[in-house]
A and B are shown apart, each in its own frame.
Chain A
Amino acid sequence: MASENDDMGLEMSSITILNKYSNTSESDPFFSSGWDPIVSQSESLGGSSIASHYHLVMENQGISGTSHVSQYQSNPSFVELVPKLTGFDGGNLSQIPGPFSLPQCNQIANSNERGSKNSLRSLDEHRISETLVGTSPNGKIRKRSPESDSPFRSCKNGNEEPGMDLSSEGCDGLREQAGKKPKTEQNLSANSRGKQAAKQDKDSSQSGEAPKENYIHVRARRGQATNSHSLAERLRREKISERMRLLQELVPGCNKITGKAVMLDEIINYVQSLQQQVEFLSMKLATVNPELNLDLDRILSKDILHPQSAAVLGFGPGTNPSHTFSPSTFTGTISGFPNTNPGFPPLPQTVLENEVQNLFQMGFYPGSTMDGFGLDGIH
């Protein structure tokens, strides 16, 4: 027992067992108040048979525990701990204290084998429906993002991943003795297996291995903690960084910015400037007098959608030095709006043709103007 405990200790150093079931009532008899029922059960069972390979099963977002449970049934010599994640609210999930969990892992396993299977199974199913990985609280529960889960993989039996070294090594005991159980996801700690560490990188490159299930399988990268917390955090962070990259492309002039806070500032400024522009334009539309009334709808929609044809509307090239309707003024007129406002209604139809072109170009290729505007507004 002592040797087994030592073995466990070695492998438990980087493993955290999470067993906080806060939601389900079925979990309460199983995991309530510090493992008491487990202790009592295990003592009655008399000793545990813990394999030298200590498998930690970390379920991330609802990995089906049924297979685990069935594995327990057929494989009494393996201890599988099932830490579960309650949810990713800020990533501050409570941790089961280490020493407390160590001597009772075997007991958990044994008790897993015995009576509480049903509760575990239903618990897992409930867990599946509850845990979220950084998803919105508005009900989007099963969110698959295989493109961002490069380190994710699932250790599946037999049919799905024939070339898995992990299965050959780590899952060996489990798999062979448990038979070919489909849908067994495992997240083995990288640190606890030196042999597998080398294969971690290769395995981590297998991405998107959750084609059938709608949840994400997480694999711990080499040298990284396999806390369920840290995994969840990593997941979340990766998603957030991916979205920040997308936003970086949307917001002009943010290519050089690295850093979440600065990027968020830029985004905020940009959104504010866009909203201000909408207000400014609506004010402008309120004051402008549309003199052309006949079939306005058709003409305008045609012109908006086909800017090139609008330029042929026959504006005579003329000079009007009095009007201030120039591109620079137009783009930077948030502050100068009251100045340009009175200039709009009395605009005659003599406009410089190049200015017309500029305006239409501005209307449809706002990249340059937006930069100018943004720069004016921000800096």
Chain B
Amino acid sequence: MDLQNMNPSSLKSRFATRFLRALTKINAQKPISSSSSREIFQRYRRIKVAADKSMAYSVRSRRSWSRATLWRLRTRSPRSRLATLARRSSVKTRTTRAASHGATVVDRKSHGKENKEDGGVEAEELRELVPGGEAMDLCNLLDETAHYIKCLTTQVQVMRTIANLYSLH
């Protein structure tokens, strides 16, 4: 773990620097102490997007899930009209997902694609969790999941440390 910390180009450091930059930018916009709950919520959304984006950028396009996340982030936002048009015309299945890759608890039995027997019901659920996972077979899905888990843990670590530092100062 220490070696990873020392490595300047490790995933952790890349993500940390990117996320910090985004975070300071967000914090510079408004003073936090005088924010209403609505503003706090907006800031929360922005921070979450920044976290996901920084992580996806740190991974570049080497992984399918990062590409999917970046694509989703790009098409989601202010140009909603263009985004919906792009979604409709796009063939990708992941565009139909309106929800973010956050933890929406999905009814497991609602996707019983047993005809394919590609891991069954659980694999379908995993596909929904991992961004870009709908178009993958089980083998690659597991691959992507492994890398995704690794990146998520890094993300959680860095964010937790930042939160601790913020709150302790």
Contacts and interface: CB of A to CB of B under 8 A. Distances in A.
B155 interface: yes
Given A281-B163, A349-B168, A365-B1, A275 B122 contact: no
A303 B13 CA distance: 11
A90 B126 CA distance: 18
A283 B48 CA distance: 8
Contact of B163 (A285, A301, A366, A370): A285
A147 interface: no
Contact of B48 (A247, A278, A304, A360): A278
A250 B161 CA distance: 21
Given A270-B149, A272-B105, A275-B101, A364 B161 contact: yes
A247 B149 contact: yes
Nearest to B32: A289
Contacts of B82: none
Interface in A250-287: 250-251, 260-261, 264-265, 267-268, 270-279, 281-287
Contacts of A138: 64, 135
A209 to B, nearest CB: 22
A290 interface: yes
Nearest to A244: B142
B130 interface: yes
Given A136-B137, A274-B156, A300-B162, A306 B24 contact: no
A122 interface: no
A361 B152 CA distance: 18
Contacts of B27: 290
A267 B128 CA distance: 13
Interface in B101-125: 101-103, 105, 116-120, 122-123, 125
Given A307-B161, A363-B161, A279 B48 contact: yes
18 contacts: A90-B117, A135-B140, A243-B142, A247-B146, A261-B120, A268-B126, A268-B129, A271-B130, A272-B105, A274-B152, A275-B103, A281-B51, A282-B47, A285-B166, A288-B167, A289-B166, A303-B161, A305-B12
B152 A300 contact: no
Interface residues of A, number: 69
A286 B12 contact: no
A225 interface: no
B44 A286 contact: yes
| 6 pairs of A and B residues whose beta carbons are closest in the complex | A264-B122, A363-B161, A243-B142, A286-B44, A274-B152, A281-B159
Interface residues of B, number: 68
Given A272-B103, A278-B52, 6 more contacts: A136-B139, A243-B139, A243-B142, A274-B149, A278-B152, A297-B20
Nearest to B160: A363
Contacts of A90: 116-118
A278 B159 contact: yes
A283 B158 contact: no
Contacts of B87: none
A240 interface: yes
Contact of B158 (A134, A251, A304): A304
B6 interface: yes
B15 to A, nearest CB: 10
A158 B117 CA distance: 42
A378 interface: no
B164 A360 contact: yes
A152 B126 CA distance: 31
B137 A288 contact: no
A349 B169 contact: yes
Nearest to B136: A136
Nearest to B116: A90
Contacts of B101: 275
A138 to B, nearest CB: 7
Contacts of A261: 120, 122
A344 interface: yes
Nearest to A348: B168
A246 B146 CA distance: 7
A359 to B, nearest CB: 5
A301 B22 CA distance: 13
Given A250-B146, A282-B48, A271 B153 contact: no
A345 B33 contact: yes
A197 interface: no
A274 B159 CA distance: 12
A345 B155 CA distance: 23
B20 A282 contact: no
Contacts of A310: 165
B139 A236 contact: yes
Interface string A327-356: 000000000000000001101010100001
A325 interface: yes
